[in-house]
């Protein structure tokens, strides 16, 4: 008796599928969409030039939001402008301590933190709304940009989404309400906070 699988196809006809497992197509299949998320005023309370864990307040909706987004299959990647480093107000190590504390509060679910230490007038490639941090993330992860979002409270968070060709969600925490009126084009989603933004993104589905 001849064993058959996949309809009437013979084994030899199925072999090319196996060979395709290392093709660019299957790498494409492994790609995950990312939620790029701003830090200050989005994940944590906005503090001008936050330099110490003592002043860190993680919003109560942040841990469950990150969990929901991760459970839905998104990478969660923080993109943060930290010009306080360039200004000499605190060190990169101070900032890393803050990131460790945030990571602890969200159960270690954040995939990566990218930061820009430069001053706004330095013309670097990594300061939002420039694309350097997203490009760095793309070098480190297989990211499906088409399904990805940027969530943040400032106009530059919406602008980096526009520059990267991804969808944006603006939160009204932090500078959100003040910055919303500075936008020529509204974000795809405007939400009260990260909790509402996450719910909205998940309900819109991947193919918006």
Binding to Zn ion (CB under 5 A) within 118-147 occurs at 118, 124, 126-127
Alpha-carbon torsion 61, 130, 176, 41, what sign?
Answer: positive
> 115 and 98 in contact (C-beta within 8 Å)?
no
Query: Cα(183)–Cα(173) distance, rounded to whole angstroms?
Result: 16
Residue 57 has what DSSP assignment? -
Q: How far apart are CA 67 and CA 180, in angstroms?
A: 27
- For Zn ion (CB under 5 A), the number of binding residues is 5
Our answer to whether residue 71 is catalytic in this structure is: no
Binding segment for Mg ion (CB under 5 A), chosen from 55-63, 83-91, 128-136, 174-182, is 174-182
**How is residue 43 written in tokens?**
């994940």
Binds Zn ion (CB under 5 A): choice among 37, 50, 85, 116 = 116
| Total Cβ atoms within 10 A of residue 180 | 18
Nearer to Mg ion (CB atom), residue 147 or residue 174: 174
Among Mg ion, Zn ion, none, partner that 127 touches (CB below 5 to 8 angstroms by kind): Zn ion
Contact 95, 115 (CB under 8 A): yes
Q: How far is the CB of 28 from Zn ion (least distance, A)?
A: 30
Q: Which CB atom, from 72 or from 124, has the smaller least distance to Mg ion?
A: 124
- Which residues contact Zn ion by CB under 5 A? 116, 118, 124, 126-127
- Which residues contact Mg ion by CB under 5 A? 38, 40-41, 153-154, 174
Q: Which residues are catalytic?
A: 38, 40
């Amino acid at each position: 008796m001849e064993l058959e699988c996949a309809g009437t196809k013979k084994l030899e006809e199925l072999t090319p599928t196996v060979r395709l497992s290392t093709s660019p197509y299957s790498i494409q299949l492994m790609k995950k969409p990312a939620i790029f998320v701003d830090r200050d005023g989005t994940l944590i309370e906005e503090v001008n030039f936050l330099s110490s864990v003592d002043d860190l307040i993680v919003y109560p909706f942040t841990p469950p939001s990150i969990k929901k987004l991760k459970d839905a299959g998104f990478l969660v990647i923080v993109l943060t402008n930290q010009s306080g480093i360039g200004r000499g107000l605190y060190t990169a190590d101070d900032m890393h301590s803050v990131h460790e504390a945030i990571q602890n509060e969200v159960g270690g679910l954040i995939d990566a933190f990218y930061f820009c230490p430069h001053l706004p007038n330095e013309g670097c490639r990594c300061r939002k709304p420039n694309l350097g941090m997203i490009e760095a993330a793309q070098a480190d992860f297989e990211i499906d940009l088409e399904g990805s979002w940027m969530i943040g409270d400032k106009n530059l968070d919406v602008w980096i989404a526009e520059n990267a060709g991804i969808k944006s969600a603006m939160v009204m925490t932090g500078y959100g309400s003040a910055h919303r009126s500075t936008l020529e084009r509204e974000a795809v989603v405007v939400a009260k906070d990260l909790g509402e933004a996450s719910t909205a993104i998940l309900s819109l589905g991947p193919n918006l």
